[in-house]
Chains A and B, each alone.
Chain A
Amino acid sequence: MKRAVRIVVWVVVALAGAGALAAIAFHRGEPLNATWFVVAAGCCYLVAYRFYSAFIAARVLALDDTRATPAERHDDGRDFVPTNKWILFGHHFAAIAGPGPLVGPTLAAQFGYLPGTLWLIVGAVFAGCVQDFIILVCSIRRDGKTLGEIAREEVSRRGGFIAQIAVLAIMVILLGVVALVIVNALKSSPWATFTLAATIPIALLLGLYLRFLRPGRVLEASFIGVTLVLFVVVAGQWVAESPSWARVFTLSGVSLAFALIAYGFAASALPVWLLLAPRDYLSAFIKAGAIFSLAAGILLVRPQVLMPPLTRFIDGSGPVFAGKIFPFCFITIACGAISGFHSLISSGTTPKMIIRESHARFIGYGAMLLESFVGVMAMVAACAMTPGVYFAINSPASIVGATSDAAAATISSWGYPLQAQTMIDLARSVGEQTLLNRAGGAPSLAVGMAQIFSSTIGGPRLLSIWYHFAIMFEALFILTVLDAGTRVGRFMVQELGGRVWKPFARTGWLPGILLSSAMIVGAWGYFLYQGVVDPLGGINSLWPLFGIANQLLAAVALVVATTILLKMGRLRWVWLTLVPTAWLVTITMTASYQKIFAASPRLGFLSYANALAGQIAAGKIPAAKIADTQRVIFNQRLDAVVTAVLAAMIIVLIAEALVQWYRILSGRSKSALHETPYVASRWAKSFSGATYAGVYTESETPPEG
C-alpha cells in the first residue's frame, strides 16, 4: 500500500514538473506567472534527486557506509571534523554559492527567460550536480585530496599541472570580473559606496572583538555586525542627501577600481582575523538571509514575468553582451548550471568533514540543486521587470546612449517600449542619480529584488532602502569572494614561485607575502582596469572570458571523474560524465574560437583590435585619444591570447586523458585506483539502516576495499 502511495506521489510530482516546464516553454502572449518557474524547478529537482542521484549513488559509485570516512579516521577537531549532514550541507552551500548564479542568469536574460531557465535546470541536474557529487566522493575516498592532486594521481602529472594552472587562471579572471560588477554597481552612487565602505570599519571592529575580547564567539559578533550593517544601509540615505558628504562618496569607475585594488592588497597582506574572516561572517549571514528572503518574496508576490520567452537577440546582436544563444547562453549562465570552481570545494573542506559516504549524495548533489534554484530566482527577478528597463540598465552607453531620451529611443526601436521618464522616475524612486548603463547584472538584479521585497514589506516608500540593501548584499559577498580569492591566489603564487626559489614559498615571510599579494592583485587589477576603461562596458569582454575559464575547469573535473569511473570498471555508466564533458568542451571551444576570431568587432577580440587599429591609421581617432585607443587594442589582443591559452590547456588535457583511457580499455596500463585502503567504520552499526536503507543493494556495496 505504502509503495503504491509513493508511486502515485512521484508520478504526480513528475507530471507537475513536466506540466510547468511545458507551460514555460510553450506559453505565448500574456505574461507568465513566476509560480510556474518555481513549480517546474522544484519538481524537476525532486525527481532528479530521488531517482538520478540515487542511481549514481547505488549503481555508479556504490557508496558504502561501512567504510570509514577521512573525518572518522583522522578526527583532529581542526581540518577533519565529523559534522552533521545538515550542518555540512549549510557549510558546503555557503561555500559554493557566490555571485555567479545571481549575475549569470541576469545577464543571460537578454535572450529571454526560456533558454536560461531550461539550462539552469537541465544543466544542474545532468552536469553540475553530477560533477560536484562525483568529485566529492572521489575526494572522500582519497583522504580529502584536492582536485589537482587527484588529477595528478589518476590522469597524469601533466593533468594535475593543468588543473593547477586552470585554477589560478580562473581565479585571476574571476576576481577581475566580480570586481568590475561591484564597480558598475557603485559608480556614481554615494549611498551604495558609503554603505559598502562602512562595512570595512565594521569588519575591523568585529575582527578585534573576536581576536581579543571574545575569541571565536562568531554568533554574537555577527549579530552586532549585521545590526551595524543594516544601520549603515539606512544611514547611506542621509549621506546621499547631504551635498558635501555625497560629493565625497561619488566616485568614478577608475577611482573605485583603484580603491578595490588597494582593498584587495590589504585583505591579502593583513592578518586574516583582522579583515577577511569577520567580513566573511557578516557576508554569510546576510547572504543566507537575502537568498531565503528572495525565495519567500517570489513565492508570496508571484510576480508576472514580463520578458518574452525568446528575444530578438538570440541572433547574437544583444546589447548586454555579444554572441549567439549557442554557445554564449551556456557560457554566461556558468555557475548556476555547472561550475568548475565547485570541484575545488568538493575536494577541499567538505570531504574532510563528512560522516558517511552516503551523505555525499545529499551534500554534493543536493547543494548544487539549491544553487541552481538560486539561479532560477535571479532569472525570475531579472525577467519580472519590463524588458525596456532591463536593457536600459544593462546596456553600455556606446550602444544605447548616455541619456534617458537616447536610451528610450534606441530600446523602443528594438521593439521593447520604454519612456525616458520611466528611467528617471525609477532612478529617483531607488535613490540613485541614474540607472542607465549600469552593466554587470548587479543593479538590475537589485531593482528586481527591491520590487519584489517592496511588494511584500513597505510598498514603494521602502523601494530605495530595499534597492540599497540588495546592492549591499551583492557587493558585500562579492567583496568576500574578492578578498578570500586574492588570499588563496597569493598562496598559489607563493607555491608556484617556491618551485623556482624556495624561500618564496614560506607563507610567513613578509617580503614574499607583499610580493605575491602585489602579483595576484596586479593580475586581476589589470583585468578590472581594462574592463572599466573599455567603451563597450567591460562585461561584454570579461564575463564570457570568465565563463570560458570556469567551464574549462568543470571540463577538467569531469575528465578526472570519467578516468576514475573507467578505472572503477564502470564503462557501462561512463556516459554519465562523458556526455557533460563533451558538451562543455563543445561550448568552451566554440566560444573560445568565436571570441578570438569572429568577424564582428563586438564579439571577436582580434577584429575589434583590428577595427580600432584601422581607425587610428585612417586618422579617425582624435590625437588626444590615440593612447587610450592603443591601450584598448592591447587589452583585446591580450584577451585573445588568454582565451587561446585556456583552449590549448583543455586540448592538452583531453589528449592526455584519451591516451590514458585507451590504455585502460585496451589493458595496456594497470588501471590502479589511488583510493585509500578500506577501513571499517566504527559508526557503521549505529548508523545502519537510516535514511538510505533500501537504496543500496548488497551486491553494489563492496564488503571490502
Chain B
Amino acid sequence: MAKTQKFPERSDSKYVSLRRLAYRVWLGIREWCGDCAYERYVQALGARRDNETSPLTPAEFYVEQLNRKYSRPNRCC
C-alpha cells in the first residue's frame, strides 16, 4: 500500500521535471533559431526604459535584424 502511495508522487515529480526540461529545450530551440528575437528586443527596450524611441513592429524588426546580420561575416568555411 505504502508503495502505491509513494509511486504516483514520485512519477508526478518526474513528470513535472520532464515537462520542465522539455519546455526549456523548446525555449532553447526558439532562441537558437531566432524565433523569440522580437520578444528579446521588446524586453531590452523595456529594461532600458527607453520611452522616447517607439519600438519597431515585428515586421520592421525582422527586416532590420536580417540586414544587420548579413552585413558581416556570419557563415564560415
The chain A residues found within 8 Å of chain B, CB to CB, are: 75-79, 81, 83-84, 86-87, 90-91, 94-100, 146, 167, 170, 174, 178, 210-212, 215-219, 222, 271-273, 276-277, 280-281, 284-285, 334-335, 339, 341-342, 344-345, 348-349, 480-481, 484-485, 487-488, 491, 507, 546, 550
How far is the CB of A98 from the nearest CB of chain B, in Å?
5
Q: Is the CB of A96 within 8 A of B76?
A: yes
Using Cβ atoms and an 8 Å threshold, which residues of chain A touch B62? Answer: 210-211, 215-216, 273
By a beta-carbon cutoff of 8 Å, the part of chain B in contact with chain A is 28-35, 37-38, 40-45, 47-48, 57-59, 61-77
A78 lies within 8 A of B68 (CB): yes
Q: Which residue of chain A has its CB nearest to the CB of B31?
A: A87
Within the complex, the shortest CB–CB distance from A574 to chain B, in Å, comes to 27
Flag if A83 contacts B31 (CB, 8 Å).
yes
Partner among B35, B65, B72 whose Cβ is within 8 Å of the Cβ of A217 = B35
- Using known A-B contacts A76-B44, A79-B68, determine if residue A344 contacts B32 with beta carbons closer than 8 Å: no
Q: Across the interface, which residues of B come within 8 angstroms of A86, CB to CB?
A: 28
On whether A216 and B77 interact (CB within 8 A), knowing A84-B28, A211-B59, the answer reads no
Residues of A with C-beta under 8 A to B31: 83-84, 87
A77-B76 in contact given A90-B32, A219-B33, A276-B70 (Cβ < 8 Å): no
**Smallest distance from the beta carbon of B28 to chain A beta carbons, Å?**
6
Main secondary structure of the interface of B (DSSP, over half): helix
Among residues of A, the one whose C-beta sits closest to the C-beta of B41 is A77
* A276 partner residues in chain B, CB cutoff 8 A: 66, 70
CB closest chain-B residue, reference A283: B75
Contacts of A94 in B (CB 8 A): 32
Contact A95 B75 (CB under 8 A): yes
**Distance of A79 Cα from B67 Cα, bound (Å):** 12
Q: A75-B44, A77-B43, A81-B40 are in contact. Are A215 and B75 (CB under 8 A)?
A: no
Please list the 6 inter-chain residue pairs (A to B) with the smallest Cβ-Cβ separation, ordered nearest first.
A77-B44, A77-B41, A215-B59, A344-B73, A216-B62, A215-B58
CB–CB B77/A75 < 8 A: no
Can you name the residue of chain A whose Cβ is closest to the Cβ of B36? A216
List A contacts of B64 (CB < 8 A): 78
Q: With A215-B59, A342-B76, A488-B71 as given contacts, are A277 and B66 in contact (CB-CB < 8 Å)?
A: yes
Q: Are A216 and B58 in contact (CB under 8 A)?
A: yes
Whether the pair A484, B74 counts as a contact (CB closer than 8 A) is: yes
Contacts of A484 in B (CB 8 A): 70, 74-75
A211-B59, A488-B72 known; 8 new pairs, CB 8 Å cut-off, are A77-B42, A84-B31, A98-B77, A215-B62, A219-B30, A273-B62, A273-B63, A487-B70
CB distance from A148 to the nearest CB of B (A): 11
CA distance in complex: A167, B76 (Å): 12
Taking CB atoms, residues of chain A closer than 8 Å to B76 are 95-98, 100, 335, 339, 341-342, 344-345, 481
Instruction: Kindly state the separation between the CA atoms of A86 and B42 in the bound complex, as whole angstroms.
Output: 22
A101 and chain B: residue at smallest CB distance: B77
Contact B70 A91 (CB under 8 A): no
* Min CB gap A280→B, angstroms: 7
Q: What are 28 A-B contacts defined by CB distance under 8 Å? A: A77-B40, A77-B45, A78-B64, A78-B65, A81-B44, A84-B31, A95-B75, A98-B75, A211-B59, A211-B63, A215-B62, A216-B35, A216-B37, A272-B66, A272-B67, A273-B62, A273-B63, A277-B70, A281-B33, A341-B76, A345-B76, A481-B75, A481-B76, A481-B77, A485-B73, A488-B73, A488-B74, A507-B71
Closest approach, in angstroms, between the C-beta of B33 and any C-beta of chain A? 5
CB distance from B55 to the nearest CB of A (A): 9
Give the complex CA separation of A79 and B69 in angstroms: 9
Residues of B within 8 A of A341 (CB): 73, 76-77
> Complex Cα distance A75/B75, Å?
23
| A272 and B70 contacting across the interface, CB-CB below 8 Å | yes
Most A CB contacts (10 A, CB to CB) among B42, B47, B74 go to B74
What distance in Å separates the Cβ of B26 from its nearest Cβ neighbour in chain A?
A: 9
Which residues of A have CB within 8 Å of B75?
95, 98, 280, 480-481, 484-485
Find chain A residues with CB under 8 A from B74 CB. 95, 345, 348-349, 484, 488
Q: How far is the CA of A292 from the CA of B68 in the complex (A)?
A: 30
Rounded to whole angstroms, the CA-CA distance of A277 and B69 in the bound complex is 9
Residues of chain A lying within 8 A (CB to CB) of residue B43: 77
Residues of A within 8 A of B45 (CB): 77
Question: Complex Cα distance A334/B77, Å?
Answer: 10
Q: Which residues of A contact B35 (CB under 8 A)?
A: 216-219
Chain B, residue nearest A267 (CB): B70
Q: Which residues of A contact B69 (CB under 8 A)?
A: 277, 349
Task: Give the complex CA separation of A349 and B29 in angstroms.
Answer: 18
In the bound assembly, the distance between CA atoms of A436 and B38 in angstroms comes to 49
- Asked if A174 and B77 make an inter-chain contact with CB atoms under 8 angstroms apart, the answer reads yes
Question: Considering the chains assembled together, what is the distance between the CA atoms of A211 and B33 in angstroms?
Answer: 16
Chain B contacts of A81 at CB under 8 A? 37, 40, 44
Query: How close is B66's CB to chain A, nearest CB, in angstroms?
Result: 5
CA of A83 to CA of B64, assembled, Å: 20
B45, chain A: closest CB distance, angstroms: 6
Give Cα A271 to B64, complex, Å.
11
**Known A-B contacts A216-B34, A272-B67; A348 and B42 likewise in contact (beta carbons under 8 Å):** no
Residue in B48, B61, B73 whose CB lies within 8 Å of A216:
B61
